[in-house]
Amino acid sequence: MANVQSSNLGYPRIGANREWKKALESFWSGKLEEHELLSKLDDIRLDRLRIQQEKGIDLIPVHDFTMYDHMLDMSVMFGLVPQRFKYDGGPVPLSVYFAMARGSQGAAACEMTKWFNTNYHYIVPELQDAKPHLTVNKPLEAYREAKSSLGIEGKPVLVGPYTFLKLSKGYTPDQFESLLDQFTDLYAVILKELEQEGVQWVQFDEPILVTSLTKDELALVSSVYKKLHAAAPAIRIMLQTYFDSVSHYVEIISLPVQGIGLDFVHGLDGNTEQLLKHGFPEDKVLGVGLINGRNIWRSDLDAKLELLDTLSQKVKPSQYVIQPSCSLLHVPVSTAHEDKLDPVLRQALSFANEKLDELTLLTSALNNGIESVSEQLKEHNQAVAAMNQSSLRNNEQVQKETSKVVGLNPTRALSFEERRKAQQKKWNLPLLPTTTIGSFPQSTEVRQARKNWRSGEWSAEQYETFLAEQTRAWIEIQEDIGLDVLVHGEFERTDMVEFFGEKLDGFAFTANGWVQSYGSRCVKPPVIYGDVEFVNPMTVKETVYAQSLTSKPVKGMLTGPITILNWSFVRDDISRELVAYQIALALRLEVNALEQAGIEMIQVDEPALREGLPLKREDWQSYLDWSVKAFRLSTSSVKDTTQIHTHMCYCEFHDIIDSIRALDADVISIETSRSHGELIGSFEEHTYDHGIGLGVYDIHSPRVPEVDEMTQMIKRALSVLDPELFWINPDCGLKTRGRDETVAALRNMVAAAAQYREVL
């Protein structure tokens, strides 16, 4: 029998009950002293290690824990503290660390951005003032701690030099090579010290290797790893890739490292194909990323064993290390508290702890023979099968409808140009119409009312009366401000996806399925477990009520199919494309219900469209095509005079403009002022010929912008966009703002529009 090891690539930081988040937030609000925080975090960190040890994982990651973000940890370890934080050498104090993450008096926080195509956000390293040096060997500390406290032979995890530098900013392309040299030297020092300590494996995360690199770039990657290997030849380096298949398989497997970690979930086809074609070096370990680190479902372990069997044509099983596809940071901690869910559904779930069980089960099957674990495998696979066969997942009507969609090309009856004329006649809006993006402030009062209702203290009727009252007040305010197109204010919604998930069939909500989004912020995505079906109208009552209070048009407000999809955990037994169509069909019924109830302006928000783009450029078009189709499925059945709006938050436009146009929304609104109008530039090269509103003020700040600032923004926009198509609106929804600042800002916005209309 083989001697196969199991490994983990990273474990959630947040704790089974979000203890981590609570500790950090108590510290920030002054309720915990620094030493109290540190001691709480020590406990959480050791707990995580203990769990992995108890589960029997052979290679347990260390240095994957953080007090905020692992990229920020790397920056701080290299002393990369921008000047504005006034740090002058030595170990970086906690206050500076958190200031970089969250900003402080007088120093803006470092930029935060998405970690590849996940919903995790990292702090972008800034190199402009940098003199990279090693302030402390954190991986060594983490290794020592695991060893002395628990006897664990830990595997330090670091973001690899190439990915680290690629994700940093504050340097010009011609500085890249010399910076890479400097950083590689620092990594080499870390490695040497780890080697002296007797460390066996080190994991370098290089997810950038799943994107396309040029020949020169590959040569640089190769020279980095040559140097690192030469610096600490006794250490075994696991070069870890994830989120897709590697783009340059042959070059990557020949790097001078001792292990290559490949993602056999999100890069299944590409990696399998290349491995079978080109083989795999006999002197390396293959980290087989088998268990999905980004989804919450139990795996079909028979299929995993089959895959291992296939790979064994080219790789000896003794070369395998069985691991998740990526760090488990992207999944919740444990299903232990999910006893309110349907038992069939609960049994089909697998969060981080359960995924570790899957890993060790597979490893035992390899080491001791399948017979030795046949009972457990059977039980496991039965749970998966029960879910797949369950009526929860099999709504024949929906499946029939969805299969019809595949060959369809849903379009509006008339072209945009023709619709525009019809709509202009119907709505008779002024030039540069003003509107908002949907939500108005969710004041403490609103949140308290929701709590009262959820706890049973208030009856449903009481709560609804309260909501109606809010809408009535804000309709009055909007009329008073002089906005042209009004909204009901979204007071009944906490979250734009959860709200719809709770009303559609096929969604479930976990008790404790939290994952880290950024810093201490965690989200609890809905679970799309079954066929999605429309049950009852979801937004008609509130919208119709709002419309009854005014003669101005009120826009209906829905979340689009792709955003609902991308912000949920999605079943993995059918394609994401089909799930998107199911959601789209349900939304189509809502759109029709709104229209029938007399709501003839309807906004379908798609802020998450862009973030769903695959990592490989060549896969973009197919994703965009079915996304556009899903959007059109939801919105194309309406009358010519019904005006469909959509909204995206900040969305780089230039490289997907054809797809944005293909959405065929009558009006789109996009965030632009936070990026200081950068987006406007894209319209110099690309024409956009549908209605468009570029947010004229930043809603992320309580500051009330002056009329002048907004006219400046309008002026810039109109230098590239047709005034007949231009709308005036804020960047995004206003739910996080206060009432007074919102009213003042909108007054200024309406004044800016009025001033400009006179000029035109």
Using rule CB under 6 A, residue 121 touches ligand GLN: no
Three-state DSSP class for 58?
Answer: coil
Length of the chain: 760
Using rule CB under 6 A, residue 607 touches ligand GLN: yes
Among the candidate windows 246-254, 381-389, 437-445, 718-726, which touches ligand GLN by CB under 6 A? 437-445
Pull the structure tokens for residue 269.
């086809």
Q: Is 322 labelled a binding residue?
A: no
Q: Is 651 labelled a binding residue?
A: no
DSSP characters for 318-338? GGEEEEESS-GGGS-S-GGG-
Interface pick for ligand GLN out of 328, 496, 601, 663 (rule CB under 6 A): 496
Among the candidate windows 179-187, 293-301, 455-463, 732-740, which touches ligand GLN by CB under 6 A? 732-740
245 vs 278: CA distance, rounded Å? 14
The least CB distance from residue 557 to ligand GLN, in Å, is: 5
Of the pair 497, 750, the CB lying nearest ligand GLN is at 497
Of the pair 165, 732, the CB lying nearest Zn ion is at 732
Interface pick for ligand GLN out of 324, 438, 501, 695 (rule CB under 6 A): 438
706 vs 697: CA distance, rounded Å? 10
Among the candidate windows 230-238, 291-299, 436-444, 515-523, which touches ligand GLN by CB under 6 A? 436-444
The least CB distance from residue 606 to ligand GLN, in Å, is: 9
Q: Is 18 labelled a binding residue?
A: yes
29 vs 98: CA distance, rounded Å? 13
In 3D, which of 654, 169, 736 has the Cα closest to residue 446?
A: 736
Task: Give Cα separations from 697 to 429, 440, 731 (angstroms).
Answer: 22, 15, 6
124 vs 661: CA distance, rounded Å? 31
Using rule CB under 6 A, residue 732 touches ligand GLN: yes
- How many residues at the interface with ligand GLN, by CB under 6 A? 13
The least CB distance from residue 607 to ligand GLN, in Å, is: 4
674 vs 330: CA distance, rounded Å? 28
Using rule CB under 6 A, residue 525 touches ligand GLN: no
Q: Kindly report the CA angle at 146 between 141 and 147, in degrees rounded to 5?
A: 95
Q: Of Zn ion, ligand GLN, none, which one does residue 735 interact with (CB within 5 to 8 Å by kind)? A: ligand GLN
SS3 of 59-123: ECEECCCCCCCHHHHHHHHCCCCCHHHCCCCCCCCHHHHHHHHHCECCECCCCEEECCCCCCEEE
Tokens 């944005």 sit on residue: 660
CA dihedral defined by 30, 32, 37, 40, rounded to 10 degrees?
-140
DSSP characters for 128-191? TT-----S--HHHHHHHHHHHHH----EEEEE-HHHHHHT-BSS-GGGHHHHHHHHHHHHHHHH
Report CA 359 to chain centroid distance, whole Å.
25
367 vs 621: CA distance, rounded Å? 43
Q: Of ligand GLN, Zn ion, none, which one does residue 439 interact with (CB within 5 to 8 Å by kind)? A: ligand GLN
Using rule CB under 6 A, residue 488 touches ligand GLN: no
The least CB distance from residue 230 to ligand GLN, in Å, is: 49
Is residue 690 part of the annotated active site? The answer reads no
Interface pick for ligand GLN out of 221, 474, 733, 742 (rule CB under 6 A): 733
DSSP characters for 348-365? HB--HHHHHHHHHHHHHH
Q: Is 522 labelled a binding residue?
A: yes
Interface pick for ligand GLN out of 646, 735, 745, 750 (rule CB under 6 A): 735
The least CB distance from residue 266 to ligand GLN, in Å, is: 26
Task: Give Cα separations from 350 to 380, 439, 669 (angstroms).
Answer: 11, 35, 38
The least CB distance from residue 594 to ligand GLN, in Å, is: 15
Q: Is 21 labelled a binding residue?
A: yes
Question: Which position's Cβ is nearest ligand GLN?
Answer: 733
The least CB distance from residue 593 to ligand GLN, in Å, is: 18
Pull the structure tokens for residue 759.
């000029």
Interface pick for ligand GLN out of 194, 321, 362, 437 (rule CB under 6 A): 437
Query: Which amino acid, residue 610?
Result: R
Interface pick for ligand GLN out of 322, 341, 446, 557 (rule CB under 6 A): 557
Of the pair 202, 656, the CB lying nearest Zn ion is at 656
Which residues are CB-neighbours of 93 under 8 A, at least 6 positions away?
Answer: 87
Q: Is 326 labelled a binding residue?
A: no
Interface pick for ligand GLN out of 77, 649, 679, 728 (rule CB under 6 A): 649
Of the pair 118, 439, the CB lying nearest ligand GLN is at 439
In 3D, which of 222, 253, 82 has the Cα closest to residue 160?
A: 222
The least CB distance from residue 439 to ligand GLN, in Å, is: 3
175 vs 178: CA distance, rounded Å? 6
CB 606, CB 558: distance < 8 Å: no
Query: Which amino acid, residue 69?
Result: D
Q: Of Zn ion, ligand GLN, none, which one does residue 590 interact with (CB within 5 to 8 Å by kind)? A: none
Q: Of Zn ion, ligand GLN, none, which one does residue 557 interact with (CB within 5 to 8 Å by kind)? A: ligand GLN
CB 41, CB 67: distance < 8 Å: yes
281 vs 269: CA distance, rounded Å? 20
Interface pick for ligand GLN out of 605, 664, 666, 698 (rule CB under 6 A): 605
Interface pick for ligand GLN out of 295, 439, 636, 646 (rule CB under 6 A): 439
The least CB distance from residue 733 to ligand GLN, in Å, is: 2
Q: Is 622 labelled a binding residue?
A: no
The least CB distance from residue 309 to ligand GLN, in Å, is: 45
The site for Zn ion (CB under 5 A) is made up of 607, 649, 732
Task: Give Cα separations from 400 to 395, 405, 493, 576, 649 (angstroms).
Answer: 9, 9, 31, 17, 34
Q: Is 50 labelled a binding residue?
A: no
Using rule CB under 6 A, residue 647 touches ligand GLN: yes
CB 145, CB 94: distance < 8 Å: no
Among the candidate windows 246-254, 289-297, 432-440, 680-688, which touches ligand GLN by CB under 6 A? 432-440
Using rule CB under 6 A, residue 207 touches ligand GLN: no
Q: Of ligand GLN, Zn ion, none, which one does residue 504 interact with (CB within 5 to 8 Å by kind)? A: none
Alpha helices in 482-513 (DSSP H): 498-501
Tokens 């909108």 sit on residue: 746
Among the candidate windows 30-38, 433-441, 456-464, 544-552, which touches ligand GLN by CB under 6 A? 433-441
Of the pair 439, 566, the CB lying nearest ligand GLN is at 439
In 3D, which of 625, 652, 501, 493 has the Cα closest to residue 567?
A: 501
Q: Which residues are annotated as a binding site for Zn(2+)?
A: 647, 649, 671, 732
In the annotated binding site for L-methionine, the residues are: 437-439, 490, 605
Q: Which residues contribute to the annotated binding site for L-homocysteine?
A: 437-439, 490, 605
- Active-site residue numbers? 700
Residues that bind ligand GLN (CB under 6 A): 437-439, 490, 496, 557, 605, 607, 647, 649, 732-733, 735
Binding residues for 5-methyltetrahydropteroyltri-L-glutamate: 18-21, 114, 119, 521-522, 567, 611
The binding site consists of 18-21, 114, 119, 437-439, 490, 521-522, 567, 605, 611, 647, 649, 671, 732
